[in-house]
Amino acid sequence: MAKYLLLKHYRGGPTPLYDVPMDQWTPEEISAHVQYMRDFAARLEETGEFVEGQALSPEGTFVRYDGEGRPPVTDGPFAETKDLIAGWMVIDVDTYDRALELAGELSAAPGAGGKPLHEWLEVRPFLNEPPTISE
């Protein structure tokens, strides 16, 4: 089994086929989307392939070290220019092909008008061990 991170990009990834911003969805459309995600996770729990997942708030800040005794540096007030990750899910599957299959299925979560979003998900494998450096 191998673990993969499925990243749901709200902004910053390729544009989905049906690109209606979530703040323009009806409450019923949002509920249907969230229920699809819950049902998907529950099905993967039954097969032992679900590890965990979370939706994320749109607020966030990039932070970096700025030197000894100095406060951290943040990225400033330009949130509209940043990638925005809407959520993530960790799966534990037998093959990379299975990870792609599940990501494709998750991409069909309904959006505005109840249509599948066809959103792009980023599939990232976990590192099994740290890379070995040889001289």
Q: Which residue has the higher pLDDT, 47 or 16?
A: 47
pLDDT score of 28 more than 70 = yes
- Amino acid making up residue 104: G
**pTM, entire model:** 0.81
Q: What pLDDT was estimated at residue 77?
A: 57
**pLDDT tens-digit map of 107-132:** 999 999 999 988 889 999 998 776 67
Q: What pLDDT was estimated at residue 12?
A: 65
When pLDDT is cut at 50, 70 and 90, the band that residue 79 belongs to is low
Q: Is the dihedral of CA 74, 75, 78, 83 positive or negative?
A: negative
Strand order in the sheet with 50-55: 50-55, 84-93, 2-11, 121-125
Residues 6+ apart with CB under 8 A from 88: 5, 6, 7, 8, 53, 54, 56
Mean per-residue pLDDT over the chain, rounded = 88
Q: Parallel, antiparallel, or unpaired: how do β-strands 73-74 and 84-93 relate? A: unpaired
Q: What pLDDT was estimated at residue 82?
A: 63
Q: What is the mean pLDDT of residues 68-97?
A: 83
Pick the CATH number of 2-60+72-125 from 3.40.50.1100, 3.30.70.1060, 3.30.230.80, 3.40.50.2300: 3.30.70.1060
